[in-house]
Structure 1
Amino acid sequence: MDSHSTARVVLLSCGSFNPITNMHLRMFELARDHLEDTGHYRVVKGIISPVSDGYNKKGLIEACHRLEMARLATENSDWITVDSWESLQPEWVETTKVLRHHYEELLTWEQGADDVDTVKSAKKRRVEGNSFESSSYHGKRDDPRLMLLCGADVLESFDVPNLWKPEDVTEIVGRFGLVCVSRSGSDLLKLVHKSDVLWKHRKTVHLVKEWVTNEISATHVRRALRRRHSVRYLLPDSVLHYIQQHELYSSESEQKNADVVLAPLQRYANASTT
Structure 2
Amino acid sequence: MRLILIACGTFSPPTLMHLRMFEIARNHLMERGAFQVIGGIMSPVHDAQRKPGLVAGTHRLAMLRLALRTSNWIRVSDWELQQPQWTPTVDVLQYHKDCINNVMKEKVEGRRDSVLPEWLPAEVTQREDEVHVRFLAGADLLATFADTQLWTNEEVETMCSYGLVVISRFGSNPEKFIFESDVLSKYSRNIELVTNWSTNNLSSTLVRRLLKRGQSVKYLLDDDVIEYIKKFNLYNC
What's the TM-score, normalizing by structure 1?
0.78
Distance 2:206 2:16 in 1: 13
SS in 1 for 2:82: coil
Query: In structure 2, what is the equivalent of residue 142 of structure 1?
Result: 129
CA drift at 1:196: 1.1
Q: How many residue pairs get matched? A: 221
Q: 2:44, 2:80 within 8 Å by CA — same for their partners in 1?
A: yes
Instruction: State the superposition RMSD in angstroms.
Output: 1.6
Number of the residue aligned with 2:38 = 44
Structure 1 residue matching 2:103: 3-state secondary structure: helix
- Percent identical: 43
Letter in 2 for 1:22: L
**Per-residue deviation at 1:39?**
1.2
1:37 and 1:201 map into 2 onto residues whose CA distance is 23
In 2, the alpha carbon distance for the partners of 1:211 and 1:205 equals: 19
Note the alpha carbon deviations across 1:228-266, whole angstroms, 9 max, x for none. Answer: 000000011111110011100029xxxxxxxxxxxxxxx
Range with greater deviation from structure 2 (13-22 or 159-168): 159-168
Shift, 1:89, TM fit: 1.6
Specify which structure has the bigger relative contact order, considering alpha-carbon pairs within 8 angstroms and separated by 6 or more residues: 1
Q: TM-score under structure 2 normalisation? A: 0.89
Is 1:171 paired with 2:163?
no
Output the CA distance in 2 between the equivalents of 1:40 and 1:13. 21
Partners of 1:63 and 1:88 within 8 A in 2: no
Structure 1 residue matching 2:235: 3-state secondary structure: coil
Mapped pair 1:77 → 2:64 = no
| Unmatched tracts of structure 1, length 5 or more | 1-6, 118-140, 252-274
- Tell me the equivalent position of 1:271: none
Q: Read off the aligned partner of 1:71 and give its amino acid letter.
A: R
Alpha-carbon separation, structure 2, partners of 1:228 and 1:50? 25
Listed one character per residue, the Cα deviations across residues 101-146 of structure 1 (whole Å, up to 9, x for unaligned) are 00011112223362648xxxxxxxxxxxxxxxxxxxxxxx931000
* Structure 2 residues without counterparts, runs of 5 or longer: 115-127
**Larger radius of gyration between Structure 1 and Structure 2:** 1
Match of 2:189 in 1: 203
Which of 123, 129, 148 is the equivalent residue of 1:161?
148
The one-letter code of the counterpart of 2:138 is: G
Aligned residue among 8, 11, 14 for 2:8: 14
- CA drift at 1:183: 2.2
Kept in 1, the 8 Å contact 2:170–2:195? The answer is no
Cα distance in 1 for residues equivalent to 2:176 and 2:165 = 16
Structure 1 stretches (4+) deviating beyond 3 angstroms?
A: none
The separation in 2 between residues aligned to 1:16 and 1:45, in whole angstroms, is 20
Give the alignment of 1:41-190 within 5 angstroms: 41-112=35-106, 114=111, 116=113, 142-174=129-161, 176-190=162-176
